[in-house]
């Protein structure tokens, strides 16, 4: 049966941090090539629905299986299971709900491949750490880190889901054109969905107070932070009437 290997957790978290930096250096200047930043439309692509479903599924399945199959079942402490369920809850939404409503353009197969690998890797790291390694005191549920982190997680998730919905409503089924997002946090930033997702994973990191979760929050920041900036530039270039006061990612700041 599996055991906690602290050196494995350290190695996988460090690699995740390194990938984050690699990503930052790759995507600060040029955006990752999918959605509105795809130039060569001749590349092999899969319908957005299938692509997002396949890509995100391991992030739900791997930790859910680790949680379900652990023997002997981990009954104590509650914190680990609850936190693992939060992670799975987000990816339940991303895998089983988000793809079925998306009106996005087809997704490049090459990025789908790397995206899937990433979701297996991260799903394993977060799940393995929480199910086999994490130890919390019995009163963790009343600790300020847990409560404030959980609050941020829920707030971020709310913003993320609401913003995903606002983006979807910009198109009729079958449409692939881009419009100016309006309402919700889009009033203040071009990347409202990304802002929500980043807040969410930093909340998760604070609630779990763990190296793997902080590494993932940092990865998220390095992955979709630059993308928010590129979306913002795209909008300014495309729409002459784009709201001047709107920022890229952080309301009123940047
Ligand atoms: N999936 C996270 N890296 C990623 C896929 C890409 O969940 O090689 C990371 C995730 C992957 C990435 C994933 C990992 C790293 C990869 C990368 C590709 C390269 C990179 C593998 C796994 C890599 C190294 C080097 C390290 C190996 O047509 P369309 O699609 O543009 O339509 C869009 C529509 N829309 C509009 N419609 C009308 N008018 C407008 N103005 C519109 N603007 C947008 O809305 C879409 O249908 C939809 C959303 O579009 P967009 O571009 O705002 O969001 P998108 O980037 O597609 O993300 C969707 C959601 C969002 O809520 C976001 O927060 C979340 O997924 N997300 C996305 C990426 C990563 C992530 C979360 C995370 O890190 N936590």
Dist CA 240 CA 223 (whole Å):
28
Is 234 contained in some domain?
yes
Q: Which residues neighbour 186 within 8 Å (Cβ) at sequence distance 6 or greater? A: 163, 166, 192, 246
pTM score of the predicted model: 0.96
Dist CA 206 CA 227 (whole Å):
24
Domains: count for the chain: 1
* Ligand 1 site residues, Cβ closer than 6 angstroms: 19, 22-23, 26, 32, 35-36, 48, 55-56, 102-105, 111, 114-115, 118-119, 160, 164, 167, 170-171, 176, 178-179, 181, 193-194, 197, 220, 223-224, 227
Dist CA 169 CA 10 (whole Å):
42
Q: What is the token pair recorded at 123? A: 């799903």
Q: What is the token pair recorded at 50? A: 């299938």
Output the CA 152–ligand 1 centroid distance in Å.
Answer: 21
Which domain covers residue 31, as residue numbers?
6-238
Is 248 contained in some domain?
no
Is 106 contained in some domain?
yes
Is 148 contained in some domain?
yes
Q: Pick the closest to residue 77 from 8, 134, 123 (CA basis).
A: 134
Q: Do you find a cis peptide bond into 202, omega within 30 degrees of 0?
A: no
Per DSSP, the three-state class of 232 is helix
Is 246 contained in some domain?
no
Q: What is the token pair recorded at 32? A: 């990752």
Atom of ligand 1 nearest to the CA of 59: 7
Is 126 contained in some domain?
yes
Is 250 contained in some domain?
no
Is 19 contained in some domain?
yes
**Per-residue confidence in pLDDT tens, the chain, 254 aa:** 788 999 999 999 999 999 999 999 999 999 999 999 988 767 899 999 999 999 999 999 999 999 998 876 666 667 788 999 999 999 999 999 999 999 999 999 999 999 999 999 999 999 999 999 999 998 899 999 999 999 999 999 999 999 999 999 999 999 999 999 999 999 999 999 999 999 999 999 999 999 999 999 999 999 999 999 999 999 999 999 999 999 999 999 99
């Amino acid at each position: 049966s599996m055991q906690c290997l602290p050196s494995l957790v350290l190695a996988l978290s460090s690699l995740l941090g390194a990938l984050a930096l690699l990503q930052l250096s790759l995507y600060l200047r040029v955006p990752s090539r999918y959605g509105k930043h795809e130039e060569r439309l001749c590349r092999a692509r899969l319908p957005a629905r299938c692509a997002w479903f396949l890509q995100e599924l391991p992030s739900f399945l791997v930790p859910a299986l680790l949680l379900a199959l652990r023997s002997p079942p981990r009954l104590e402490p509650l914190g680990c299971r609850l936190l693992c369920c939060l992670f799975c809850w987000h990816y339940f939404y991303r895998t089983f709900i988000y793809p079925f409503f998306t009106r996005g353009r087809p997704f490049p197969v090459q990025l789908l491949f790397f995206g899937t690998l990433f979701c297996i890797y991260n799903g394993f790291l977060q799940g393995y750490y929480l199910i086999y390694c994490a130890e919390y005191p019995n009163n963790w549920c009343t600790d300020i880190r847990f409560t404030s982190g959980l609050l941020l997680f829920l707030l971020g998730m709310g913003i993320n889901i609401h913003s995903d919905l606002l983006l979807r409503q910009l198109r009729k089924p079958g449409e692939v054109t881009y419009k100016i997002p309006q309402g919700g946090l889009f009033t203040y930033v071009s990347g409202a969905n990304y802002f929500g997702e980043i807040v969410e994973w930093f909340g998760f990191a604070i609630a779990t107070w763990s190296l793997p979760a902080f590494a993932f929050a940092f990865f998220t920041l390095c992955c979709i932070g630059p993308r928010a900036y590129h979306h913002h530039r795209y909008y300014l270039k495309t729409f002459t009437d784009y709201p001047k006061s709107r920022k890229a990612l952080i309301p009123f700041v940047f």
